[in-house]
Amino acid sequence: MIRKRGLQDVKRRNRQVIIQSILENDGLSRVEIAQKTELSPSTVSTLVSELIGEGVLAESGSHTTTAGRSRTGLTINAGFGAIAVVEIGRKESCMTLFDMALHPVATKVLARAYLAGNELYEAIVDALCADRPAGLPLAGIGLLFQEDMRESDFHVMYSTGIASANITLKEALTSQLRVPVVEEFSQVYTVKQALEERVDPLQRNSAHVSLGSSVVVNVTVEGRAVPLREDFYQDAVKLLGAPLYASGQGEKSRRWADLPVQACSLIALLCMMFSLNTVFLSGTEGMEEDVVRQLKARLEEMLAKERMPRIQLLRARHAQHLEGVFAQRIRAEILTAQ
């Protein structure tokens, strides 16, 4: 029994290695996969045949001849499944469906207003039923929270027919649709892109503060996300003081003049907790560089020189095409689990 389980584990790892090699280098032939992965040609041939039979891989149709030998490229089968990426914002929620080749096959605006948990859950399920192409099974869902939205803002009263429970949107979708559901913040990708633009590896020690009607904080230390306690957000809101939205006047009422006072305590707290090289600020449409200079000047009065981080604004252009990047990550998680 132990030996059989061990062989199954080896086979599963080998399948994952083959899939990963094609995700990284689309169009590889069986021989090229064997060379890159150092698996035996017979193992690659056997497992590739299995993956093609299961619909995970497909022959790309590129047949070329080199030194008298023909090669057939392999690719991820676009029809293996659909990935739904739902972007959830305070003003709008929309869904993009991708096939497994990451081609967009449908886009739909779920609402042009804020949706509560049950409303959003029902809108997602209805859209998946109505807009998913026939013959393309649902493989996974990504929930991409925008701006200052958090998963905890969207709880669903879910009924099993026997009992009801107040659960997260992710749990409700997983229970109803029986597919993997992945959650992420759009600002995580914004920060990743900003970090990639800087060659200094120390910039991987950073915090991202998204400011709005609520506060979202993400901390990365040595390239790894550091989880924060849920009550940290409550403490952060207290530190920020007055709300950034004035009642009934919408976003235009943001008190940017007060931002240095409000944000400095929060940033100082983060810098005391972690050794941060950069603090990114987003949700700051309309914030000018002179406001950042004021924030930095005040922060320098609160922190020792060695604790002083670099302050960087994240502009909206960094957040473009995040749904495709997120779909790529979900695809990798789905396929390597096969």
Helix (H) or strand (E) holding 184: strand 181-185
- In tens, the pLDDT along 129-187 reads 998 888 899 999 999 887 667 777 788 887 766 667 788 889 989 989 999 998 887 76
What does pTM read for this prediction? 0.65
Give me the torsion for CA of 280, 285, 286, 292, rounded to 10°.
-10
pLDDT confidence of residue 252: 42
Average pLDDT of span 104-114: 89
Q: What is the CATH number of domain 193-318?
A: 3.30.420.40
Residue with tokens 């060379």: 35
pLDDT confidence of residue 317: 41
pLDDT confidence of residue 254: 45
Domain layout of the chain by residue ranges = 2-76, 81-179, 193-318
Average pLDDT of span 25-36: 89
Protein fold of 81-179: Nucleotidyltransferase; domain 5 (3.30.420)
CA distance 190 to 195: 9
143, 182 in Cβ contact below 8 A? yes
pLDDT band at 326 (very low <50, low <70, confident <90, very high): confident
Rounded to the nearest 10 degrees, what angle do helices 186-196 and 322-336 cross at? Answer: 100
Q: What is the DSSP letter of 250?
A: B
- In tens, the pLDDT along 195-242 reads 455 445 545 688 877 766 556 677 878 766 677 776 666 666 566 554
CA distance 149 to 120: 13
The answer to whether 81-179 and 193-318 have equal CATH topology is yes
Contacts 24+ apart (CB under 8 A), 11-18: 11/47, 14/39, 14/43, 14/47, 15/47, 15/50, 15/51, 15/338, 16/336, 16/338, 18/44, 18/47, 18/48, 18/51
Contacts of 153 (CB under 8 A, 6+ apart): 117
Q: What is the DSSP letter of 132?
A: S
312, 193 in Cβ contact below 8 A? no
Q: What is the CATH number of domain 2-76?
A: 1.10.10.10
158, 164 in Cβ contact below 8 A? yes
CA distance 195 to 211: 20
